[in-house]
Amino acid sequence: MPIQVRPLSYGIGAEISGVDLGRPVDDATRAAIRQAWLDHLVIVFRGQDLPPPRQIAFGRMFGELDDHKSVPFYRHPEHPEIYLITNKKIGGKESQTKDTGRLWHSDHSFTTHPTMATMLYCLEIPPVGGTTMVCNMYRAYETLSPALRAVLDKLDAVHSLEHYSAHNPYFTSRDPEQIRKMNELSPPVAQPVVRVHPETGRKALYISEGQTQRFVGMSQAESAGLLQYLFEHSVKPEFTYRHAWKVNDMLMWDNRCTNHLAVPDYSHQTTRHMHRLTVLGTPSGRLLEPQER
């Protein structure tokens, strides 16, 4: 039976029904899912039973999976492809990922091999909140004036994990030694401010409040005003979808044309536990030259 695709908002997002991802998915269904994902940027599957091997098998249908080497400290003990986004204590220690994603970002844009897709699967969710927002960065680009688009088309911007950790108020629980290691694993990179999507050919803004520090060749002070404008512009309500999770939901978003945010709208007295998997994309950007730092 063909899948059904129901848009979830005007600007972004669709719910896919009529498929059980817990079982092998045939080629026609996979192609229909991929098309719906390219069209809607983030897709939602409800009521899926996905133990890690099944989530991994589904992920592999879309490409090579990341083993989270750039953030190695919170992988699933038996499945390095699965990264735990959780506020549960593990081994008696406070979770290092309980506040992952609290600033808008695109996964791994601070590397030269950023991810294509993220698949986030919900195992436990607080009674209220714990929502995730996703915004449409094609629309963010397309709604700018032609003159500003022409300026941005020529610019690169610095993305770094160091910047993300330094200005993120939720990063305080992380141990400094771990932050040092993360920065060593991921030195700053230059990414195009406008990225051409390798599959759709459409242009999207590729900057984020979390990870973008400044324009290449400009100081942070020179960049700040325009970047702040773009951060605010790109998350206008009409460009966003906000997902209220239920257990067994799986969300799959396209990191090449969206940013996302883990909204801090719940209490850590309640449990939120997710399995994340990321599919690698085509390379983007380059390491910053020492003289550009």
Q: Work out which of 68, 139, 163, 276 binds ligand OGA, going by CB under 6 A.
A: 276
132 makes contact, choosing from ligand OGA, Mn ion, none, with CB < 5 to 8 Å by partner type, with ligand OGA
Nearer residue to ligand OGA within complex by CB, 132 or 223: 132
Say how many Å lie between the first and final Cα of the chain, rounded.
54
Question: Which residue, 177, 245, 210, is CA-closest to 107?
Answer: 210
Q: Where do the DSSP E strands lie in the chain?
A: 4-7, 14-17, 42-45, 83-86, 115-124, 132-136, 156-159, 189-192, 194-196, 203-205, 212-215, 240-243, 250-254, 258-262, 273-280, 286-287
| Under rule CB under 6 A, residue 118 binds ligand OGA | yes
Q: Work out which of 44, 207, 227, 274 binds ligand OGA, going by CB under 6 A.
A: 274
Question: Which residue, 133, 115, 150, 102, is CA-closest to 268?
Answer: 102
Backbone angle region of 171, left / alpha / beta, with phi > 0 → left and psi within -120 to 50 → alpha: alpha
| Under rule CB under 5 A, residue 107 binds Mn ion | yes
Task: Tell how far CA 77 is from the center of its chain.
Answer: 22
**Is 105 in the active site?**
yes
Say whether 180 sits in a helix, a strand or coil: helix
Number of residues that bind ligand OGA (CB under 6 A): 11
- CA distance to 221, 246, 290, per residue, from 126 (Å): 40, 9, 45
| Under rule CB under 6 A, residue 256 binds ligand OGA | no
Query: Of 68, 108, 159, 260, which residue is the catalytic one?
Result: 260
Query: Of 105, 108, 243, 256, which residue is the catalytic one?
Result: 105
Minimum distance, C-beta of residue 273 to ligand OGA, in the bound complex (Å): 10
Site for ligand OGA in 53-92 (CB under 6 A): 85
Query: Of 40, 272, 275, 276, which residue is the catalytic one?
Result: 276
| Under rule CB under 6 A, residue 260 binds ligand OGA | yes
Minimum distance, C-beta of residue 129 to Mn ion, in the bound complex (Å): 17
- CA distance to 43, 107, 290, per residue, from 272 (Å): 20, 20, 41
Q: Work out which of 11, 59, 101, 281 binds Mn ion, going by CB under 5 A.
A: 101
Give one DSSP letter per residue of 187-218, joined into a string: --EEEESEEE-TTT--EEE---TTTEEEETTS
- Residue 213 burial (CB < 10 Å; 0-12/13-18/19+)? buried
Minimum distance, C-beta of residue 141 to ligand OGA, in the bound complex (Å): 21
Please check whether residue 22 is in contact with residue 54, taking contact to mean a CB–CB distance below 8 angstroms.
yes
Tokens 């590729």: give the residue: 206
274 makes contact, choosing from ligand OGA, Mn ion, none, with CB < 5 to 8 Å by partner type, with ligand OGA
| Under rule CB under 6 A, residue 119 binds ligand OGA | no
Nearer residue to ligand OGA within complex by CB, 29 or 97: 97
**Is 260 in the active site?**
yes
Of 100-108, 137-145, 163-171, 183-191, the segment contacting ligand OGA by CB under 6 A is 100-108
Q: Tell me how far apart the 2 most distant CA atoms of the chain are, in Å.
A: 57
| Under rule CB under 6 A, residue 136 binds ligand OGA | no
Amino acid (one-letter) located at 152: L
| Under rule CB under 6 A, residue 106 binds ligand OGA | no
The residues annotated as belonging to the active site are 105, 107, 260, 276
| Residues within the interface to Mn ion (CB under 5 A) | 101, 107
Residues that bind ligand OGA (CB under 6 A): 85, 100-101, 107, 118, 120, 132, 260, 262, 274, 276
